[in-house]
Structure 1
Amino acid sequence: MNMINSYNTQFIAVVIPSYKVTKHILGVISAIGPEVSRIYIVDDKCPDESGNYVEAHCTDSRVIVIRHEQNLGVGGAVMSGYRQAIKDGAEVIVKVDGDGQMDPALIPNFVGPILAGEADYTKGNRFFDLEEIRSMPPVRIFGNAALSLLTKLSSGYWDLFDPTNGYTAIHADVASHLPFDKISKRYFFETDMLFRLNILRAVAVDVPMDASYGEEVSNLKISKIVGEFLIKHLRNFSKRIFYNYYLRDISLASIELPIGIFMFLAGGIFGGWHWAISAKEGLATSAGTVMLSALPILMGLQLILAFLAYDIATVPTRPKHKKFLNRKILKKNND
């Protein structure tokens, strides 16, 4: 708590999307410490009328209820909270789920790196402590590992893990530059956030945390979102590569990737075509033909790996909110 006390003049806000969490939400609110100035409960057209429930049973003066006329999903709820927090002048905005899985006592751990100027965005990672992983359902472990690999490719944050972790914090100046209307509003929300942050070249870091799994029931059905997630990951990967390597800047990696893909595919197609002919005619493929196929494949693979190495080495390391702050100061002075 010492780090937060040293920044006691900062306006820290917490956003809690609320949908079918009336059984847990009062406990979550009561556990939020005095370092937080405002708590936004976003009633996402909850069938349990959680907004009314909080207003009727919660006496915390920091709580403000925001209501949606239609259900927008967790992403839509968080964006509504972000908008209101930014409007009210928040410095850092923390997102906590209302189902009790996230310990509000960890809020200083998420806010600290941002207030210290070390990060623009922080997110939880439940995989730091290997002993604690044993409490996680095996299906979630496998799912997170697969999603983490896809997210590294599509977002460009190769040093992050546990991408679907919803315990996050963001500097308000960075949040204000996000395209709220374009960010995925449902289960792809956390992953899409990372993609958008990379486009801004914001610094994102993991915060170690434990997770508790009680009697709450997830609304996420893996079988229904696998195809959707794959398509969206491919879309974000393509956009990120185009924006960062061809639209904003041109580097050696910009050349390595297309040449590598072309050579890899050309070698594979050439080799497959000659293999089919040899198999049909019952003749052995000559050594020269094999080499003409293998060399482009190997060289193409090498170029693709070189591109990936460059991409990994260019993960954002300079917090963006400092630049935004400097611009605001210069604009204020000019006015």
Structure 2
Amino acid sequence: MSQTEQLVAVVIPSFRVTRHILGVIASIGPQVARIYVVDDKCPDGSGDFVAGHCNDPRVVIVRHEVNQGVGSAVMSGYRAAIEEGMSVIVKIDGDGQMDPGLIDNFVTPILRGEADYTKGNRFFYLENIGRMPPLRLFGNAVLSLMTKLSSGYWDLFDPTNGYTAIHAEVARHLPFDKISKRYFFETDMLFRLNTISAAVIDIPMDATYGDEVSNLKISKIVTEFMLKHLRNFGKRIFYNYYLRNMSVASLELPLGLLLLIGGSVFGAARWIASAQAGIPTGAGTVMVAALPVMLGLQLILAFVAYDIAAVPRRALHVALRRRKP
């Protein structure tokens, strides 16, 4: 299929965005073949509102009988786009924060075979970061670090950015029913993409904040996010280094942890025993404890370096297309 035959779709999760969504739809250019508005049981009746006030023939309303969360809404949009034969699926929010004029920026790297999934990065333009609320700036920095560990995409930033695009063939291989259905959705997507070795890149964009009201309360999701990051990190390490493949890094991590923990426990135990006895810890004892700690740290750093170098770079959808008869 040539680039001119590629069909681009846009998915808009719709929940309490009736004030902005018509303007968002009107701003979507002619390069988009289909627009899926997913009404996630919106109390404002977003689906009916769009159906009654929008005459754009590209718009398709997808309705949920019960509220399932933004992740589930996006998955419903993905399913509808795949069923209709779309090639690239862009996800934008309906609250007016995301400029539909940037759609080509997200789609082009996928059409060129440079990426399977693209996502926005509001931190690229340093002069614009000052417009971001300080709490959100700090939260994104912390979440970005945790996401690098749990997803394996060390070169990405701004993990909660919801402006994304994905090749439909790659989306078809994702476990839709397992992906987080609510606010952890964007981060969980990156973890799932890494497990299938999809190439992901950041797309620079401005941070825009208007009169919209966020439904996300940082204080309520900090603990939940941390636990899910730990879960995904453990799964990713097991999948990539022990279940699907074995490498020198598969030995470096457990051996490094064993030496680091063993040396630390031995050193602490000897120090406590010496303190109770009122005698200084011998130099030999210190060296015996320090040596495995240093070796353990070196092995763990070597594992991290290997993990960073192992970030997927080749577009999966290109390989999948070549395998088709």
Identify the TM-score tier after normalising by the shorter chain: over 0.9
Superposed counterparts of 1:152-301, under 5 Å: 152-301=148-297
Superposed counterparts of 1:311-322, under 5 Å: 311-322=307-318
Aligned partners of 1:287 and 1:223: how far apart in 2?
47
Aligned partners of 1:272 and 1:319: how far apart in 2?
48
Residue 79 of structure 2 is aligned to residue 83 of structure 1? yes
Residue 10 of structure 2 is aligned to residue 14 of structure 1? yes
Q: What is the letter of the counterpart of residue 236 of structure 2? A: R
Aligned partners of 2:158 and 2:117: how far apart in 1?
14
Tell me the secondary structure at the aligned position of residue 206 of structure 1.
Answer: strand
Which residue of structure 2 lines up, in the alignment, with residue 303 of structure 1?
A: 299
Contact 1:8/1:35 (CA < 8 Å) preserved in 2?
A: no
Aligned partners of 1:327 and 1:81: how far apart in 2?
26
CA RMSD of aligned residues (A): 0.9
In structure 2, runs of 5+ residues without a counterpart are: none
Task: State the shift of 1:327 in Å.
Answer: 2.4
Aligned partners of 2:23 and 2:4: how far apart in 1?
24
Aligned partners of 1:82 and 1:122: how far apart in 2?
15
Which residue of structure 2 lines up, in the alignment, with residue 138 of structure 1?
A: 134
Aligned partners of 2:25 and 2:10: how far apart in 1?
10
Superposed counterparts of 1:58-137, under 5 Å: 58-137=54-133
Task: State the shift of 1:90 in Å.
Answer: 0.3
Aligned partners of 2:256 and 2:161: how far apart in 1?
34
Tell me the secondary structure at the aligned position of residue 71 of structure 2.
Answer: helix
Q: What is the letter of the counterpart of residue 16 of structure 2? A: K
Aligned partners of 2:266 and 2:71: how far apart in 1?
46
Tell me the secondary structure at the aligned position of residue 265 of structure 1.
Answer: helix
Contact 1:151/1:233 (CA < 8 Å) preserved in 2?
A: yes
Structure 1 outlier segments of 4+, above 6 Å: none
Identity %: 70
CA deviations over 1:36-84 (Å, ceiling 9, x no partner): 0000000000000000000011111100000000111000000000000
In structure 1, runs of 5+ residues without a counterpart are: 1-5, 331-335
Scaled by the length of structure 1, what TM-score is found? 0.95
Contact 1:18/1:43 (CA < 8 Å) preserved in 2?
A: yes
CA deviations over 1:83-119 (Å, ceiling 9, x no partner): 0000000000000001100000000000000001100
Task: State the shift of 1:260 in Å.
Answer: 0.2
